[in-house]
Structure 1
Amino acid sequence: MAKAEKTLLFTLEPHPLQQKLCDQLGLEPGQLELRRFPDGESYIRITTPVNGAHCIVLADLSRPDSKYLAHVFLFETLRELGAKSVGLVAPYLCYMRQDRRFVDGEAVTSRLFARSLSSHIDWLVTVDPHLHRYQSLDEIYRRPTKVVQGAPALAGWLQGQDNVLLVGPDAESEQWVSSIAQASGHPYVIGAKQRLGDRQVEVTLPDISRYRGWKAVIVDDVISSGRTIGECVKALKVQGADTIVCAAVHGIFAEASDTYLLGTGLKALVTTNTIPHSTNEIDVSTLLTSPIRDFLNQAEGAHR
């Protein structure tokens, strides 16, 4: 292939951030063919010249087991075809929850996945990964990483909305919810969660009678099973809340939990565009451009 001159952005499937990042960073969309053989194996062909180009892969890594191997093939083929660098923008970073061996014999998948992914990329940008027992991604990733906070995007969406009470479903959300509240200028309360099983939780809330008639906006970083949010909705209704909305950074919506949540009486369910979904209403692209540009500048400097 002839030598490429532009920075290229590849994605294996359509993503709402693709065109936005191309427009804001002056990237050229990379073209490729992806299909499955009858036996389920992946076929990938890169049709855009990449020799001498810096390449970025934008990847939706939710439900990763069916996607990851094809991304490995893409990373390595870009290198074989002469890409100067291969960076990854994974707005949602998977395999972060298993951060220790809780029971003898368990795989600590966060470390194993990080080790594997680090061997295929030069840098990583992501949004609000699940950092519980890790202080930073640098503890497990062997390549430079940058974590973007989604809170400013949610705060921007909330600004201008009157009579809004922000609700964090559990103690883990307090630091995150308080930063959004400070930026958006809204009061907030935090619930207490008791986990009764993998799919059963109980949420209690402090007295919110002073906010009667206000819109309650439950905010969280990730919605997976949706059970915590559902219990939070019930707790709000017990206290007389009528208009209840939920806004989250990452909407995984495992097992059709979006349908379940809307059935609890939510007036609206809103997410950012980190994971493609019909609820995507909040754009995080402007938060991603600066760290991506920094990594591209570093990569270009390293090749001069």
Structure 2
Amino acid sequence: MTLILGFDDYLLPAQQLAKSLSVAFKQVKLHQFPDGETKVTLPTTLPKHIIICRTLNNPNAKMTELIITAAAARNQGVKHITLVAPYLCYMRQDIAFNPGEAVSQKIIGNLLAAYFDSVITIDPHLHRINNLNEAIPITQACALHATGAMSKFLQQHFSQPVLIGPDEESEQWVKAIAQPHQWPYVIATKARFGDKNVAVSLNIKDKNKAVSLSNRDVIIVDDIASTGKTLEQAVKQIQQQAPMSISIIVTHAFFVDNALTRLKDMGVTNIWSSDSVLHSTNAFSIIDTLARQLKKINITD
């Protein structure tokens, strides 16, 4: 028997995952003490294999509670623990950019490897590595993509859009969505000067052929929207080509510092995201993507 454990901050998606897998679901209870510590209470009876489902935005408190949960489950005799983290934190800092900086990807990766037998996530923010197990040193470390869910969703809304990737890293997602439908796509270049200072250059070519955005539905595709500055710069470049509409679709939605309002004020028609992070822009789900992978690797056996 397999059991999914969830938390109140990501309750509905975790319950949907349990339903998709036809397995039982129970909630981990959290109690906050006045001094900021958290008491974690698990079900009193656990099977040999559990799946802990929690997305790790706002990660600092969540990580502590997650490790306590996993350790307590081991103490109850659980033999195999799978972490399903639709958004996986601390993956961007994979090198020390300046002297003294901690390489948080390796530190958090090793921490997760010490407590979990399997880790599954969606579109982690990886830069200089190809496989998640380079960051989390366990055999079953799996990074899935939201591109299938994105493609299905976009096909329901557009017939012949043009896709835009706001930087070189976005090409893997844009290409995967565009090619099955033979949609044209363009990859911009980006220079970053700080967390909130970026410059985007749009070269309107697809496979060395000029692509007109005039009177076209244009969709910007990215893995994560944090400050929204990259998206804003891309929108400015696209608007110069007089498109019919501009939409944005991302896997992980944060849109901090009123980024959502600024983008809408710029004339963006649609802003969509997956439910990897709960947000007002959620429009499509990655739960089926996670469920298919769990079935494939026999996690529910």
Q: Does 1:148 align with 2:144?
A: yes
Amino acid at match of 2:283: E
User: Residue 172 of structure 2: which of 170, 175, 179 is its match?
Assistant: 175
Q: Secondary structure at the match of 2:267?
A: coil
- The alpha carbon displacement at 1:31 in A equals 2.9
Name the residue aligned to 2:30.
34
Name the residue aligned to 2:207.
none
Question: In 2, Cα distance between the equivalents of 1:293 and 1:165?
Answer: 34
Q: Secondary structure at the match of 1:112?
A: helix
- The alpha carbon displacement at 1:40 in A equals 0.9
Question: In 1, Cα distance between the equivalents of 2:257 and 2:44?
Answer: 37
Amino acid at match of 1:264: M
Tell me the TM-score normalised to structure 1 length. 0.90
User: Residue 267 of structure 1: which of 242, 266, 269 is its match?
Assistant: 269
Tell me the TM-score normalised to structure 2 length. 0.91
Gaps of 5+ in 2: 205-209
Q: Does 1:115 align with 2:110?
A: yes
Contact 2:213/2:238 (CA < 8 Å) preserved in 1? no
Q: Does 1:70 align with 2:65?
A: yes
Name the residue aligned to 1:3.
none
User: Residue 19 of structure 1: which of 15, 21, 42 is its match?
Assistant: 15
Q: Secondary structure at the match of 1:66?
A: helix
Contact 1:246/1:270 (CA < 8 Å) preserved in 2? yes
Amino acid at match of 1:61: L
> In angstroms, what is the RMSD of aligned CA positions?
1.9
Name the residue aligned to 2:161.
164
Where do 1:192-271 residues align within 5 Å? Answer: 192-207=189-204, 210-271=212-273
User: Residue 186 of structure 1: which of 183, 188, 194 is its match?
Assistant: 183
> Identity, % of aligned pairs?
33
- The alpha carbon displacement at 1:164 in A equals 1.2
Q: Secondary structure at the match of 1:119?
A: helix
Name the residue aligned to 2:283.
281
- The alpha carbon displacement at 1:192 in A equals 2.2
- The alpha carbon displacement at 1:130 in A equals 1.9
Q: Secondary structure at the match of 1:83?
A: coil
Contact 2:213/2:241 (CA < 8 Å) preserved in 1? no
Q: Secondary structure at the match of 1:186?
A: coil
Q: Deviations over 1:88-130 (max 9, x none)?
A: 0011111111111121211000000001111111110111112
Gaps of 5+ in 1: 1-5
Question: In 2, Cα distance between the equivalents of 1:252 and 1:73?
Answer: 26
- The alpha carbon displacement at 1:295 in A equals 4.2
Question: In 1, Cα distance between the equivalents of 2:82 and 2:150?
Answer: 26
Question: In 1, Cα distance between the equivalents of 2:110 and 2:181?
Answer: 38
Contact 2:226/2:256 (CA < 8 Å) preserved in 1? yes
Question: In 1, Cα distance between the equivalents of 2:246 and 2:261?
Answer: 15
- The alpha carbon displacement at 1:216 in A equals 0.9
Once the two structures are overlaid, the 10-residue window that deviates more, 147-156 or 110-119, is 147-156
Question: In 2, Cα distance between the equivalents of 1:257 and 1:142?
Answer: 35
* Closer, same or farther: CA 158–12 of 1 in aligned 2, 3 Å: same
Q: Deviations over 1:48-88 (max 9, x none)?
A: 521x3411111111121121101111111111122232110
Once the two structures are overlaid, the 10-residue window that deviates more, 188-197 or 19-28, is 188-197
User: Residue 80 of structure 1: which of 75, 81, 97 is its match?
Assistant: 75
Contact 2:162/2:219 (CA < 8 Å) preserved in 1? yes
- The alpha carbon displacement at 1:226 in A equals 0.7
Between the two proteins, the alignment pairs up a number of residues equal to 293
Contact 1:167/1:217 (CA < 8 Å) preserved in 2? yes
Question: In 1, Cα distance between the equivalents of 2:77 and 2:62?
Answer: 24
Once the two structures are overlaid, the 10-residue window that deviates more, 250-259 or 70-79, is 250-259
Once the two structures are overlaid, the 10-residue window that deviates more, 248-257 or 106-115, is 248-257
Amino acid at match of 1:128: D
Q: Does 1:56 align with 2:25?
A: no
